[in-house]
Chains A and B, each alone.
Chain A
């Protein structure tokens, strides 16, 4: 087991800065999720840890060792690729055995470990098959077995669930977390799916354009996003934003007063999550645009007079507006319901700031 530490790591491809001065630490035994949209540099960050990309600048540590110039095979890490990258010419058994074979384990130990990993991932009956004869979910499990079999210091996972169907993804998500808890291995997990990030990670690191936006436990990122980027990216759906003002200590959206906030007067960006908004008799005037019945609750997409949009989460049994019907939105009375961000920089504004 080991810690992984990025110290001002930069990776450029020509003029493109794929990772820009990234500094963060993945603790020993931690499950850290790197979250961001495609092209944000999260896969590049993972590949620098793997040794498949060379770091342009900065220092990368695995455990106590600087690994900038260490070959992939000497880093004691295992990776699960998005495409699984199984060896198509080898059977499941030989696939799982491959890393052990390369590291000179004797036959008895290899067999013991392969059977153990296969049992863990319910692959025992598939050991004689080739990857081409397996379903997507089975291939994914073989890739996991190949990663766990040699008990590396760090697991790297590059969107390992993105090729699975929704139901299987849900189940495998839980399986991976359970497996990590049991093995206690440090995991660096890359995904663009914020639900995966929220449910799997001990902590989440949100990346945008190669820069680290925020790192912390999922609920902290959800409740106190440091900027509008994190606020809108996390959550399903994300936070909605609108331009408002602070007048005499109160946040105002148009003529509607949303509540007292401890920030200086002036223009602000106002953010609210769907569950912090309710349809009510009075409040911010808006027009219902689209109503999504999710089963447990209902999402109502509303448009303000300014054209900005908010979403409100309603209980299933609440009266539902029809599309194009005028409605009023009000903020629920709960601390943390209202988020304020700087209009220029998008940075979170705190009471007293």
Chain B
């Protein structure tokens, strides 16, 4: 009995003596956990803050000041005058038009090419893995390489166009009427790789029996594609459209390499990013450039919201 009561008493005491520090330690560990959480978040927050949030806010600051030519020059506050300057500028309006045409061609064309190639490569044929690699490769091709390749193809003296018997002087990419379309086509080609990858992933997750049912119900391959595959693929197409539009609104590389800003067609292909670049690099008009950047941000936001509001209603998500 005595031996039994010994541990019993200890056990009775133990909870009270242990409980208090435990409660304390729990509170302590909670704040410790919070600290750890912030610590783990810190690298991401730092990167986001330095490269995204700070420049975003600073951009508004830049837009509202007149920056002098030297770092030591005064930066007088000019309020919204840069904004009105931009809105009234015919270059800005032309640039908006070019950007709209560029996006309206590059994105749907890239989506369609990606989907068409995905349907082709998704067939259970020998060698389809090879084509899957080839078709997706355009997205990992450097824009510089793509630009050089297409410049060669379009070259009026030695390129494919010459070989096809299409004689243009200068090259299509340099003719004022066609330059923008040529560049949009090249960008569509690059976007096609990304589009292909998401489309083939989408196709492979489609319920095969639904497509078989359509074939038995009398639909031709063409109708199976338009009446069944495309509606079932609509979430993927929608996703590709949103991402593609955001990327296309920020296109710059191909235009800068192929057209540059010394060429006579320059004004036709002066998309917004190109315009911003020229304002900064050549005209040293930082405030105006910042305003155009804000305009581009708002346009991207509006277009994306509109896509979600209008297009998503027509998207069918599987249950």
Contacts and interface: CB of A to CB of B under 8 A. Distances in A.
A85 B218 contact: no
A287 to B, nearest CB: 49
A132 B220 CA distance: 26
Given A52-B212, A132-B319, A85 B207 contact: yes
Contact of A73 (B207, B220, B232, B319): B220
Nearest to A71: B215
Contact of B216 (A79, A83, A86, A132): A79
B209 A81 contact: yes
A171 interface: no
B166 to A, nearest CB: 40
A88 B231 CA distance: 9
Interface in A94-135: 98-99, 102-103, 131-132
A69 to B, nearest CB: 15
Contacts of B316: 88-89
A89 B218 CA distance: 18
Nearest to B234: A89
Interface in B196-233: 207, 209-210, 212-220, 223, 227-228, 231-232
B319 A51 contact: no
B218 A77 contact: no
Given A87-B228, A89-B231, A98 B217 contact: yes
B219 to A, nearest CB: 5
A102 B232 contact: no
Contacts of B231: 87, 89
Contacts of A79: 212-213, 216
Majority SS of interface residues in chain B?
A: helix
B217 A102 contact: yes
Interface string B296-319: 000000000000000000001011
Interface in A40-84: 50-52, 71-73, 75, 77-79, 81-83
A99 B207 contact: no
Nearest to B319: A132
Contacts of B213: 79, 81, 85-87, 146
B223 to A, nearest CB: 7
A87 B319 contact: no
B214 A87 contact: yes
A82 B213 CA distance: 11
A88 B319 contact: yes
A285 B316 CA distance: 66
Nearest to A75: B216
A89 B223 contact: no
B214 A51 contact: no
A332 to B, nearest CB: 47
A15 B182 CA distance: 51
A132 B318 CA distance: 8
Contacts of A150: 218
B163 to A, nearest CB: 40
A2 to B, nearest CB: 16
Contacts of A102: 217-220, 223
A83 B228 CA distance: 16
Interface in A231-287: none
Contacts of A83: 207, 209
Nearest to B223: A102
Interface in A208-246: none
B217 A146 contact: yes
Contact of B210 (A52, A71, A88, A103): A88
Nearest to A156: B216
Contacts of B223: 102
Given A88-B316, A88-B319, A99 B217 contact: yes
A72 to B, nearest CB: 5
Contacts of A82: 209
A50 B319 contact: no
Interface in B257-314: none
Nearest to B215: A72
Nearest to A131: B319
B315 to A, nearest CB: 9
Contacts of B318: 88, 132
Nearest to A52: B212
B126 to A, nearest CB: 13
B36 to A, nearest CB: 43
Contacts of B228: 87
A89 B207 CA distance: 13
Given A88-B318, A89-B316, A73 B209 contact: no
Contacts of B215: 51-52, 71-73
A88 B210 CA distance: 9
Nearest to B228: A87
Given A77-B216, A99-B217, A85 B319 contact: no
A85 B210 contact: yes
6 contacts: A73-B220, A78-B216, A88-B318, A102-B220, A102-B223, A103-B218
Interface of A: 50-52, 71-73, 75, 77-79, 81-83, 85-89, 98-99, 102-103, 131-132, 146, 150
Interface of B: 207, 209-210, 212-220, 223, 227-228, 231-232, 234, 316, 318-319
Question: Would you list the 4 A-B pairs with minimal beta carbon distance, nearest first?
Answer: A132-B319, A102-B218, A85-B209, A99-B217
Given A51-B215, A85-B210, 10 more contacts: A72-B216, A73-B219, A85-B209, A87-B213, A87-B231, A88-B232, A88-B318, A89-B316, A102-B218, A132-B318
